[in-house]
Amino acid sequence: MTSTQKRLEYRMMFKQNVEKRLLVDKIVRIIVFSCVIIAIIPLGSILAEIFKNGTAAISYEFLTATPGAIGTGEGGIGPAIQGTLIIIGMSSLIGIPIGVLSGVFLSEFGENRLAQIVRFFNDVFMEFPSIVLGIFAFLIIVLVLGHFSIWAGAFALSLIMFPIIARTTEESLKMVPMTYREAGLSLGLRRWVITMRIVLASAKSGLITGILLSVARIGGETAPLIMTILGSSQFFHSFDAPMDALPLRIWRLSLLPYDSAQLQGWGSAMVLIIIILAINIGVRYFFLRKRGSGMFSRLIRQKILGGKR
């Protein structure tokens, strides 16, 4: 035991340098705030620039029409919007189930050699340059079928998607305390029932964050799309044909030396950002509202329904 004398000395010691500690606290706080601001400035200025330049391009025709003749400033990006939505949807249909299930495998049954290998390749995959995945899809689908197609694009983008989802799923499932699984076991439930009905449900918010991250990522991918869906100026007519997408359209428009094309490019970028934002907010609201943690659901509970569910 520490003697009373010693204890008094220690107490004095802790009291001595209060001012110095407060100063350190202040400095750290300033550094943290400056870092946040430094991080926000580029992000904010990009958004501001896009909205400043893009708003002028927006019109009903711009959002719905097919592209007009080059340099005239006529026509719109209708097919590109449609193509982006289709390609995000299709890639999600392929990428989400594969990603989530691999994540489940890695987290719930992942203590063996096979899982270690899968985890390693998953991580490598996540770091792959997207153009390589585009070339891969080009080689095994476009060359085999003999033409560019939505299938190939969705395949390439789902390859980008599923390692991200697998990793985030694994991480968020690992956050679910063991004790819930044990409670499930003690009720005589099978492992897969526990995993699907209890563990996945508990990790829902992490899962959705991972999925949305990957959607945002593929929403802006350009390189793999050049190799797979090529681009087009017509509305959708077949999964087996080339299609346009917003990143492709932005890329093409920004290469053109006309002011009108540049304007349309800014407009397309703005539309893409709004689409990604809308998907994010929409999905979060739809899937997470029941937990009552979201802003909207709290408002609904408190104001509109008067505290009742």
By CB under 8 A, name the binding residues for another protein.
Answer: 111, 177-190, 192-193, 197-198, 201-202, 204, 291-292, 309
Q: Identify which of residues 64 and 205 has a Cβ nearer to another protein in the complex.
A: 205
Dihedral of the alpha carbons of 117, 120, 121, 126, in degrees to the nearest 10: 160
In the bound state with another protein, the residue whose beta carbon lies nearer, of 29 and 291, is: 291
Angle at 296 (CA atoms; ends 196, 173), nearest 5 degrees:
25
Q: At 67, is the secondary structure helix, strand, or coil? A: strand
To the nearest whole angstrom, how small is the minimum distance from the Cβ of residue 27 to another protein?
Answer: 40
CB 118, min distance to another protein, A = 18
CA distance 221 to 246: 9
11 vs 197, beta carbon nearer another protein: 197
Question: What's the helix, strand, coil split of the chain in %, to 5?
Answer: 80, 0, 20
Q: How far is the CB of 187 from another protein (least distance, A)?
A: 4
Given the complex with another protein, which of 15 and 309 has the nearer CB atom?
A: 309
Tell me whether residue 205 or residue 234 sits nearer to another protein (CB atom): 205
Q: Which is nearer to another protein, 199 or 243 (CB)?
A: 199
The distance from CA 202 to its chain's CA centroid, rounded to whole angstroms, is 20
Residue 97 beta carbon to another protein: minimum distance, rounded to whole angstroms? 19
Encoded tokens for 215: 């959607």
- Residue 204 neighbours by CB under 8 Å, 6+ apart: 287, 288, 291
The answer to whether the CB of 242 falls within 8 A of the CB of 149 is yes
Question: How far lies 52's CA from each of 44, 48, 270, in Å?
Answer: 12, 6, 9
Least Å distance, CB 184 to another protein, is: 8
Q: Scan for tokens 């495998």, then name that residue.
A: 105
State whether residue 1 is helix, strand or coil: coil
Q: How far is the CB of 256 from another protein (least distance, A)?
A: 51
- Cα-trace Rg, the chain: 26
DSSP reduced 3-state for 75? strand
**Least distance from another protein to the Cβ atom of residue 12, Å:** 36
The answer to whether 77 touches 264, Cβ cutoff 8 Å, is: yes
Query: With respect to another protein, which residue has the nearer C-beta, 112 or 238?
Result: 112
To the nearest whole angstrom, how small is the minimum distance from the Cβ of residue 293 to another protein? 11
Q: CB 65: neighbour CB atoms within 10 A?
A: 15
Q: 217 vs 289, which CB is nearer to another protein?
A: 289
| Spacing of C-alpha 158 from chain mean position | 13
User: 105 or 266: whose CB is closer to another protein?
Assistant: 105
Least spacing, CB of residue 103 vs another protein, in Å: 18
